[in-house]
Amino acid sequence: MKFEYVSCNLCGSNKTKNIGKRKAPDRDSSLESDIVQCLDCGLLYPNPKPCLEDSDIQRMFGFDAPKEYFSIHTHNRFRLFGDILRRIERLKPDKGSFLDVGCGRGELLYLATKNGWEATGTDVSKDFVRYAKETF
């Protein structure tokens, strides 16, 4: 996996302070990246950031498990996402648009739609997107 140093994605500034470290998104990697905060707009982001190839994305976010595997964890995931949605609704009681970036298998999108939100999601995993469309 390659890394590259980047400017702030929000405002373009290069002025940052180091907040901490995180492991690379590759589960098998021992590489770390700094987490920085932009001093101009406050955005937190990894720098250097991982540059993912399609093969990296599939290896890290794809799945080859049968659908039954996911049903084992579905109850707990719905409970967790239900709690998250209740917190969001306390902050924004007037429902409107709902964007879930990194929506995974789509449970939060499903709950948001069911509760009156206009929900849309995106994910890097084609497998997860397909699963969400087929399941919900």
Instruction: Tell me how far apart the alpha carbons of residues 30 and 1 are, in angstroms, rounded to a whole number.
Output: 11
Domain endpoint, select from 11, 28, 56 = 56
Instruction: Tell me how far apart the alpha carbons of residues 3 and 123 are, in angstroms, rounded to a whole number.
Output: 21
Per residue of the chain (136 residues), give pLDDT as tens: 678 899 999 999 999 999 998 875 555 556 678 999 999 999 999 998 877 777 766 666 666 655 555 566 677 889 999 999 999 999 999 999 999 998 988 999 999 999 999 999 999 888 888 888 988 8
Instruction: Tell me how far apart the alpha carbons of residues 116 and 94 are, in angstroms, rounded to a whole number.
Output: 10
Domain containing residue 81: CATH number: 3.40.50.150
Instruction: Tell me how far apart the alpha carbons of residues 52 and 41 are, in angstroms, rounded to a whole number.
Output: 26
Report the alpha-carbon angle 91-93-94, nearest 5. Answer: 125
CB 61 within 8 A of CB 105: no
Instruction: Tell me how far apart the alpha carbons of residues 69 and 19 are, in angstroms, rounded to a whole number.
Output: 37
Range of the domain at 122: 67-135
* Residue 116 domain-assigned (yes or no): yes
Q: How many domains is the chain built from? A: 2
Residues 102 and 75 grouped into a single domain: yes
Residues 77 and 123 grouped into a single domain: yes
Q: Model pTM?
A: 0.61
H or E element: which one contains 100?
strand 97-101
Residues 47 and 73 grouped into a single domain: no
H or E element: which one contains 111?
helix 107-114
Residues 31 and 87 grouped into a single domain: no
* Residue 62 domain-assigned (yes or no): no
Residue type, 91: L
